[in-house]
Structure 1
Amino acid sequence: MAIQNQNDPDTVRQGAPAYLIMIDSFIQGSPDDVDLLISGSKLYGSYASAFTTEPARARRLTEKSRQYALHAFCIKLPKLCNISENHFPDFEKALQKVKKNNLPVLNTWGIAWAGWIQSRTEDWTAIADIPKIKAIMLRVVELDPSWDNGNAQLYLGVLNSFLPAAMGGKPELAKKYFKQAIRYSEGKNLMAKTLYAQYYARLVFDKQLYDKLLNEVLASPVVSPGMTLVNTLAREQAQKLLNESDDFF
C-alpha cells in the first residue's frame, strides 16, 4: 500500500479515514476477495495501533481488522475456520495443517488478533488468547522465518517480554526473537530496535543496551520500501523513549 511509503504521519493520520471507507466499499463489492480482505485488515489494524488514542474507537477498528483477517483465513482454509474456539492443544495441532501457501492469511490473522487483544488489555478473556497468538506466530516462523521481513519474530519478542522471568516471562527468548527480527529485516525495520529497547531492555534494566538501540534508530534513515511510515513512527517513539532514559533507569 502506498500509505506505507509515507514519511509524514500527520498526512496519514488525516487521510487514512478516507482509505478505510474506500477499502470497505471495495470489500462490500467483492466480499470474498482475499487480497482485499488482507489489505483491509492491515489498514484498519495499522490505523488503530498508530493513530487511535480513544479506547472505544480502537476496539471498533481492531474488531473490523480481525473480522476481515478471519474471513480471509476462512475462505482459504474453510475446514480450519473455527479453530480459534478450540482448546489450546487442539488449536496448536490444527495449525500444523496450515501450509506455506497460506502464510499470507495466517500471518494477517495473527497480527489482527494481536491488535484486537492490545486494544482490550483490561479484558482477561481476551488476554487468555495470547498463547494462541504465539502459536500462530511460531507456525509462521516454522513455515518461513523470513516471512514479512521477520515480523512474526518481532511479535514473539514483544509477547515474550510482557512479564519478568520471576513472573513467568521469557526475556531471554524475547531477546533471541528481537535479534532475529532485526536480522531478517536487514536492520531496515527500525520498529524492531525500538520495541527491543522498550520491552526487553527496560524489562531487564539494561540502560546501555536501551540507549544504544534507540540512538541507532535515531541515526538510521527512515526511507525503505514498504517500511517508511513505520520507521518514521519508530523514530518518533525512539526519541520519546530516549528522553525518558535517565528517569526510568
Structure 2
Amino acid sequence: MFAAFCLTGCSIRQTAVNQMADALAKSGDTFARDDDPELIKAAAPFSLKLMESLLADVPEHEGLLSATAGGFTQYAFAFVQQEADELEDTDLAAAQAMRLRAKHLYLRARDYGLRGLDVRHHGFGAALNQDPARAVAQATKEDVPFLYWTAAAWSAAISLAKDDPALIGDLPKTEALIDRAAALDEAWDAGTLHTFLISYEMARNGGAGDPAERSRRHFERAVTLSGGQMAAPYVSYAEAVPLQRQQPAEFRRLLEQARAIDPDAQPSTRLANLVAQRRARWLLGRMDELFLNP
C-alpha cells in the first residue's frame, strides 16, 4: 500500500509539473501583449529560470523547450544587446561586458533549440555538425519554430563573436536552419523569417545576385505578411541597406514609418513593436554619427 501511495504521489506531482510546463510554454503570449517593456525586462529572468527548473523534470517537453529558446533569444536582444548598443558611447567597457552576456544568453537559447530538434529528430544535433544540409532535410513544417529560434540565437551569438573563429565557423549551420525554415513555411509568424533574412542576406556568402536586392525582397514580403503592422522589418531594412549604402533620407523615412505604427492596433505584437520603435528612435538620434552627410 505504501508503494502504491508513493507511486500515486509521484504521478500527481508529474501531472502538476506537466500542467505548469504547458502553461509556461504559452506565457509568451501574455508577455507579447504587454505595454510596459521595463516590466517585462524585470519579470522575464524569473520566468526563464522557472522554465529551466521545470525542464530539469520534463527535459523533453517540446513546448517548453521552444518557449525557453525563444524567451532567452528575445530577452538577450531586447534588454541586453540593445542596452549595450545604447551604452557604448558613454561606457565602452560596460557595453562590451553586456555584449558578452548577450552572447552567452544567445548560446543558451541555441542549446535549448537544438535540444528541441533532438527531441523531435533523434541525433539531429550530431547530424547538423556532420552535414547541415542533410540534417535539416528531415525537418518538417512543425519544426519551424525550433529552426527559427535556433538559427536566430546562433546567428546573433556569431555576430557578437568576431574573436571566436570556432563560433564563426558555425555559420553554414545557421544558414541551413533558416533556409529550411523558410522553405517549409515562409509565412510563419507573420513574416518573421523574412524579417530575419533582411539583414542576413547582406552578410550571406555565395548568394546569387545583389545582396541589397535580396534584402529588399525579404523586406517587402515581411511587410506584406505582417500587414504593415510590424516595426521590425522597417528597422532591419534601414540598418541593412540604407545605412550601409549611406542613404540618409531613405534611412530616416523607414525609421519614421516604424515609429508611426500604432502598437495598440495589434495587441499580440505590442511588445515587439515597442522594442523595435525604441531602436528606431535610438538610430534616428545617432544619424550625425552614422552618416557623413545626414
Output the TM-score relative to the length of structure 2: 0.76
Show the 5 A alignment for 1:94-105: 94-105=135-146
Show the 5 A alignment for 1:82-161: 82-86=126-130, 90-161=131-202
- Residue 41 (structure 1) aligned to one of 62, 66, 69: 69
Per-residue CA deviations over 1:45-81 (Å, capped at 9, x if unaligned) read: 1111111241332233222211111100000011433
SS at match of 2:35: coil
Show the 5 A alignment for 1:62-77: 62-77=106-121
Change in CA separation of 1:184 and 1:30 when aligned onto 2, cut-off 3 Å: same
Distance 1:198 1:237 in 2: 11
Change in CA separation of 1:207 and 1:146 when aligned onto 2, cut-off 3 Å: same
Asked if 1:240 is matched to 2:240, the reply is no
Change in CA separation of 1:109 and 1:17 when aligned onto 2, cut-off 3 Å: same
Is this contact kept in 2: 1:162–1:199, CA < 8 A?
Answer: no
- Residue 252 (structure 2) aligned to one of 200, 203, 211: 211
1:92 is displaced (CA, Å) by 1.6
Is this contact kept in 2: 1:134–1:156, CA < 8 A?
Answer: no
Partner of 1:226: 268
- Residue 184 (structure 1) aligned to one of 192, 217, 225: 225
Q: How many residues align?
A: 243
Distance 2:165 2:34 in 1: 36
Partner of 1:4: 32
Per-residue CA deviations over 1:124-167 (Å, capped at 9, x if unaligned) read: 3222322332222221111111012211111211112248x9xx
Q: Percent identity between the aligned chains?
A: 25
Partner of 2:79: 51
Is this contact kept in 2: 1:62–1:119, CA < 8 A?
Answer: no
Is this contact kept in 1: 2:65–2:112, CA < 8 A?
Answer: yes
- Structure 1 or 2, whichever has the larger Rg, is 2
Partner of 1:16: 44
Distance 2:121 2:232 in 1: 31
1:122 is displaced (CA, Å) by 2.8
SS at match of 1:182: helix
CA RMSD of aligned residues (A): 2.2
1:179 is displaced (CA, Å) by 1.7
Matching residue's letter, 1:47 = Y
Distance 1:64 1:186 in 2: 32
Output the TM-score relative to the length of structure 1: 0.89
Matching residue's letter, 1:238 = A
- Where in structure 1 are there 5+ consecutive unaligned residues? none
Matching residue's letter, 2:71 = L
Matching residue's letter, 2:125 = C
Query: Structure 1 residues 238-247 or 68-77, which shifts more?
Result: 238-247
Is this contact kept in 1: 2:128–2:136, CA < 8 A?
Answer: no
Query: Structure 1 residues 99-108 or 15-24, which shifts more?
Result: 99-108
Change in CA separation of 1:81 and 1:115 when aligned onto 2, cut-off 3 Å: same
Distance 1:47 1:37 in 2: 15
Distance 2:49 2:156 in 1: 20
Relative contact order higher in (CA < 8 Å, ≥ 6 apart) = 1
1:94 is displaced (CA, Å) by 2.9
Is this contact kept in 1: 2:114–2:150, CA < 8 A?
Answer: yes
Distance 1:12 1:169 in 2: 39
